[in-house]
Amino acid sequence: MASLKRLETEFPILDPDFQSFCALRGIFTVQDFLIRDLQSLVADAEQQPSSERFMQAINQVLYVIDGLHQPWLNGVDLMEDAQKNKHVLSTGCEGMDFLLRGGLRRGQVTELAGPSSSGKTQFCLLTASTVAYKHMGGVIYIDTGNSFSAKRIARFLNQISCPASEEMQPRVLQEVMNSILCHSVYDIFSMFDVLHCLESKLKYQVMCRGDNDERLIIIDSISSLITPILGSSGSQGRALMVSAMSLLKKLAHEYNLAVLVTNHTVGGDGGIPKPALGESWKTLPHVRLLLSRDCGSNTYQVSLLKHPSIASGKAAKFIIND
């Protein structure tokens, strides 16, 4: 947050008189301004000898504050943005695409929860392959448990592109696989690092070319990064969880990315598994899915726990072949 002193170079009306007027009331930076009662400050300023200049200075700071929040959007702008930018990305899995009315939507964060060995990683790899191949999009795969497998991706790509069990051309295969970037992270701070670097990269791409290549971020699994820091009563862990999701939602919305995160399950009422990470987590993702696998087979069952525009409770079955 800029201090008033530094702002003086840009806006000479914030002269030392005004700064000392503010300093007496404990205001040194723009953030202090935000946390203060503006009306009483204005009333004070009017009683000063140079009240006009002070009023102009206050208005100048308000102008700076106006640049601190996101712009107000009109409903019509929102509709146009949704139509132009927020398309769906097919996941490569017919059952899942049918359940989600097309697939993962760009601009939304989707959570896939399931017990261990229920197919979450397989689904992530399949989605990464499909998006890289069909949508020509870059995929950022953040892997927390060393489960990323390039061989599996290559097999999926062969299945998608040549169902007649021919081999894909090695050059094409290499190009598609080059668009999937895998980062191994083992704690939440490294994940923040990766996401901040990604944000700079995307900003730069948009500035130079007007559009970015990346389409999908996958975090497998975000719960292994968050569970170690979630204490029972402390708020630091939950604060980090909320900030991480806030950053993901910001990236998703501003750069039109779809985000897929996986979560594990814990025992719930009556022994039915429920997604982990607690009550606060439930309000964070846009779409929540619960995955399970029929014992020893390749058939998976997924049900919809929450979606902004589809009724919850729907379910679908699908098969992922070896």
The amino acid at residue 10 is E
We find the least distance from the C-beta atom of residue 287 to another protein, in angstroms, to be 9
Q: How far is CA 295 from the centre of its chain?
A: 33
Residue 85 binds to another protein (criterion: CB under 8 A):
no
- The CA-based diameter of the chain, rounded to the nearest angstrom, is 86
41 or 157: CB nearest another protein: 41
82 or 197: CB nearest another protein: 82
Residue 62 binds to another protein (criterion: CB under 8 A):
yes
Residue 235 binds to another protein (criterion: CB under 8 A):
yes
Q: Phi and psi of 200, rounded to 5°? A: -65, -40
Window 278-307: contact mask with another protein (x via CB under 8 A): xxx-xx--x------------------xx-
Token pair of 160, please? 């998608």
Does a cis peptide bond (omega within 30 degrees of 0) precede residue 116?
Answer: no
We find the least distance from the C-beta atom of residue 307 to another protein, in angstroms, to be 9
Instruction: Determine contact, residues 264/116, Cβ cutoff 8 Å.
Output: yes
Considering only 42, 65, 173, 182, the residue that binds another protein (CB under 8 A) is 65
Window 29-58: contact mask with another protein (x via CB under 8 A): --xx-xxxxxx-------------------
Does a cis peptide bond (omega within 30 degrees of 0) precede residue 221?
Answer: yes
Considering only 169, 184, 236, 298, the residue that binds another protein (CB under 8 A) is 236
d(CA 152, CA 155): 5
Task: Give Cβ neighbours of residue 284 (< 8 Å, ≥ 6 apart).
Answer: 109, 241, 242, 245
Token pair of 136, please? 């020509």
Interacting residues toward another protein by CB under 8 A: 1, 23-28, 31-32, 34-39, 62, 65-66, 68-76, 78-79, 81-82, 108, 232, 234-236, 238-239, 241-243, 246, 249-250, 253, 278-280, 282-283, 286, 305-306, 308-309, 311-314
